[in-house]
Chains A and B, each alone.
Chain A
Amino acid sequence: MNPVQLYLRLVRIAIQSRLQYRADFVTGVIGVIVMNVVNIGLIAILINRFTNLNGWTAWEVLFLYSLWILGHSLFSMFMWHMRTLEDYLVQGTFDLFLIRPASPFVLFLGREVQYLGIADFAIGVGGLSLSYTNLHLSWGPTDWLFLVLAILAGTLIEMTITLMIACIAFWTGRSRRANGLVMQLNVMVQYYPLDIFGTVFRVLVTSVVPVAFMNYYPALMLLGKLDRIGEWWFLAYLSPVVALIMVALSAGVWRLALRRYSSSGG
C-alpha cells in the first residue's frame, strides 16, 4: 500500500469514528458559524461607519477573512490534531506510529479528522461569493487557478508552522503554549489588512511566521491592489513558493525530531 492509499484509508476510519457523534456535529457547526458571522459582522459595522479601513472596504476585508479561512478549513479538517502532538508524546501513543511498517508522518496525519472544518469551509465559500459579487470582480481561468493554489498554499503554511511548533515538544515535552502566540498572529492577519500595521510586524508575518501569505499577499493580486506593496509586488505571487519552502523546512525539523525521539528511548 502506498502512502496516499494508506492515508485515505486512515481518513476513512477516522471519519467513521467521528460519525458516532452526530448531535455534536450539528451544534458544533452552528456554533462555528454563529461565531464567525458575529466576529466578521463587528468588523463590517466598524468599517462601514468609516467607509473604509486604510483604503480597504468592508467587502475587501471580508475577502481577506474568507481567503484565510478557506486555507484554514482544510487544515482544521485534516490536520488540527497536529497541535496536540505533545499529548501523543506524553501518553506514549506516539510509539504506535514508530513500530508500524509505514511512514510515522502519514500515520500521525491520518490519525484524526475534525468535522468542524466543514463549517469553516462553508463560511469561506459564503464570504468569498458575497465579496466576489459585491466587489463586481470578474476573474479569468488563471485567477481561479491562482485562488485554488493560494488556498492550498495557505493550508500548507498553517500546517507546517503548526507542525514545527508542535515538534518543540520533542525537546521540551511541551509546545502548546507557543501555539497561542501563533494563533494571535493568525487572527490579526485574518481580520485586518496587513498595511494598517508597522514595518516590524509586517516583516514578522512575511518572513518569520509567514501567515501573511495565507491571505494578504494573494488577495492583493486577486483584488487588483498590487500598488499597495509597490516594488515588492512579486510577494503577491509567492504563496505557493513560500508553502514549498515551509514544507521542506518542516520536513527537516520533523526528521530531526524523530531522531531525537528514538535516541531518548521514548
Chain B
Amino acid sequence: MSMFWSFTRQAFHNTVVYRVEFWMRLLSILLAMYSIRSVWYVLYTQQPDAFGLSLGQMVTYGVLGMALHAFIDTGSEWYIATQVRTGAIDTDLLKPIDFHVHMLARNLGEMLFGLGVMALPTYAIGYFLFGLQLPPDGMAGALFIVSLFLGFLVQFHLGFLLGAVAFATLDIRSIAWAYFAVVSFFSGQVVPLWMFPDALRAVAEVLPLQAVYYIPMSIYIGTFSGPAAWSALGFQLLWAAILALCARLAWGFVHKRLTVQGG
C-alpha cells in the first residue's frame, strides 16, 4: 500500500512545479465560470419558472461543473497513449506494480492535487464572485464527496479504456476530441440532464457518463437527496465496478499481445 501512495505523491509533485500555468489556468477557469454564470443568469431572468429551482442553485451547478471539469479530469488516456507511441510503456511495465493499479494511483494523485490545490481555491473565489451556494446540509456535503470519488473512478476507467485503444491505433487524438465532446454532453457537465429533450435524456440516463458530473453536482445543489441520492450512488458504484472489470480485461488482452516499438 505504501508503494501505491508513493506513486500518488510523485504525481502530486510533478503537477505542483508549474506555477505560471497555475495562474493562467486559474484565470481561464474563472472566465469559463463567468460565461456559464452569464448564460444561466440571462436564461433565468427570461423565464424564472422554467427551472424548478432557484437561480442560486442553477448558477452553482454551472460554476461547479466548470471547476470540476478543469481539474478533476486527469487525462489517463493521454499518459497511456503517449507512453505507447514513444515506446516508453516498457518502463511502466518493468515497475514492480500492476499497471492498472499504478495508473489508478497516479491519477488519484493528480485528481487529489487538482481538487485540493486548484479546484478548491478556484471554487472559493467563484463562491464569492458569483454568489454560489453550499450544499443544503452536512449529509449532502458528505455524499457529494463520496459521489465525486465514485465519479472519478468512472471517468478514470473510461480514460483507461480509451488509452488502451492507443495500443491498436497509436494515435488517439481525433478519437479523444469526439470522446470529450460526448462526455461533456451526456455527463451533464454544462447542461443538467433534466433540460434535455426526452429522447436524449433517456440515452443519457442509461450511459455511465452522468456518474461523472451530473450525479455529484445534483447531490451538491440538493436536487438529489434522501433515497434518490443513495440510488444514484448505487448507480455510480455499479458502473465503476463494471468499468474497472472491463479495464482489467482489456489490459489483459492488450498486455498479452504487446510489442513495443523503439523503446
Contact = CB atoms under 8 A, between A and B. Distances in A.
Interface string A9-48: 0000000000000001001111110111011011001100
A184 B195 CA distance: 25
B185 interface: yes
Given A28-B174, A35-B177, A197-B35, A180 B197 contact: no
A61 to B, nearest CB: 11
Interface string B178-194: 10111011000011000
Contact of B174 (A31, A52, A54, A174): A31
A30 B178 contact: yes
Nearest to B22: A177
Interface string B17-45: 01011001101100110110011011100
Contacts of B177: 31-32, 34-35
A49 B181 contact: no
B195 A27 contact: no
A177 B19 CA distance: 10
B125 interface: no
Interface string A191-209: 1100011100100000000
B174 A178 contact: no
A181 B21 CA distance: 10
Contacts of A177: 18, 20-21, 24
B171 A184 contact: no
A38 B181 CA distance: 6
A185 interface: yes
Q: With a 10 A CB-CB cut-off, give which of B31, B34, B35 has the most chain A CB atoms.
A: B35
A53 interface: yes
A184 B31 contact: yes
B5 interface: no
Contact of A54 (B35, B42, B182): B42
A180 B24 contact: yes
Interface string A49-86: 11011100000000000000000000000000000000
B91 interface: no
B47 A197 contact: no
B28 A181 contact: yes
A180 B70 CA distance: 12
A188 interface: yes
Interface residues of B, number: 38
A208 to B, nearest CB: 13
Contact of A35 (B41, B50, B178, B190): B178
Given A24-B171, A31-B177, A184-B32, A197 B185 contact: no
A181 B24 contact: yes
Contacts of A184: 28, 31-32
B50 A32 contact: no
B16 interface: no
B228 interface: no
Contact of A192 (B24, B28, B38): B38
A39 B178 CA distance: 10
B24 A41 contact: no
B174 A41 contact: no
B13 interface: no
Nearest to B47: A50
Contacts of B39: 46, 53, 192, 196
16 contacts: A28-B174, A30-B174, A31-B175, A31-B176, A35-B178, A36-B181, A38-B182, A38-B184, A45-B191, A45-B196, A54-B46, A177-B20, A181-B28, A183-B28, A188-B31, A196-B39
Given A46-B39, A187-B35, 19 more contacts: A24-B171, A27-B175, A34-B181, A38-B181, A38-B184, A39-B184, A42-B185, A45-B195, A49-B50, A50-B46, A50-B50, A52-B46, A177-B24, A181-B24, A184-B31, A192-B39, A196-B41, A197-B34, A201-B34
Interface of A: 24, 27-32, 34-36, 38-39, 41-42, 45-46, 49-50, 52-54, 174, 177-178, 180-181, 183-185, 187-188, 191-192, 196-198, 201
What are the 8 A-B residue pairs with the smallest beta carbon separation, nearest first? A31-B174, A34-B178, A38-B181, A35-B181, A184-B28, A28-B174, A31-B177, A27-B174
